[in-house]
């Protein structure tokens, strides 16, 4: 079945450092891929998405490229801020369904 694997956290960085959170997936067909972010006490917010191979999703300085050859969708940001501290979830959605399959989440802590 479909699945998502995310790197374990927490990831601890200093402000302005470069961020990478790895995400790989297993799926049949051509899933859509997403990164969601969850701030303390909140629900999930969509950060970015990509719906086909080689698409690059981007938002608020975050980027991720849909790599079919490596089945990956790694999240990157060139310069993190303290306000980026949150839990990040990689997710996939298969064809003709709204069901999302999530990774385990990666907690990011950014210190000034």
Which stretches of the chain bind another protein, using CB under 8 A?
Answer: 32, 34, 36, 41-46, 49, 51, 89, 93, 97-105
Smallest distance, another protein to C-beta of residue 14, A: 27
Residue with Cβ nearer another protein (85 or 105): 105
DSSP symbols for 20-78: EE-EEEE-SS--EEEEEEE-TT--EEEEEEE-STT-EEEETTEEEE-BTTTTB--EEES
Give the span between the Cα atoms of 88 and 1, in whole angstroms.
22
Residue with Cβ nearer another protein (43 or 112): 43
Smallest distance, another protein to C-beta of residue 10, A: 14
Residue 11, Cβ neighbours under 10 Å: how many? Answer: 18
Residue with Cβ nearer another protein (12 or 104): 104
How far is C-alpha 23 from the geometric centre of its chain's CA atoms? 7
Smallest distance, another protein to C-beta of residue 27, A: 15
Residue with Cβ nearer another protein (80 or 90): 90
Smallest distance, another protein to C-beta of residue 34, A: 7
Give the span between the Cα atoms of 6 and 101, in whole angstroms.
12
């Amino acid at each position: 079945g479909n699945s998502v694997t995310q790197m374990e956290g927490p990831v601890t960085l200093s402000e302005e450092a470069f961020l990478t959170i790895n995400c790989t997936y297993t799926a049949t067909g051509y899933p859509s891929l997403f990164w969601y972010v969850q701030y303390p006490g909140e629900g999930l917010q969509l950060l970015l998405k990509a719906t086909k191979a080689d698409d690059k999703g981007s938002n608020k300085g975050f980027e991720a490229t849909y790599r079919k050859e490596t089945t990956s969708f790694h999240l990157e940001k060139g310069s993190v801020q303290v306000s980026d501290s949150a839990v990040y979830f990689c997710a996939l959605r298969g064809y003709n369904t709204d069901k999302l399959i999530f990774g385990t989440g990666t907690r990011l802590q950014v210190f000034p």
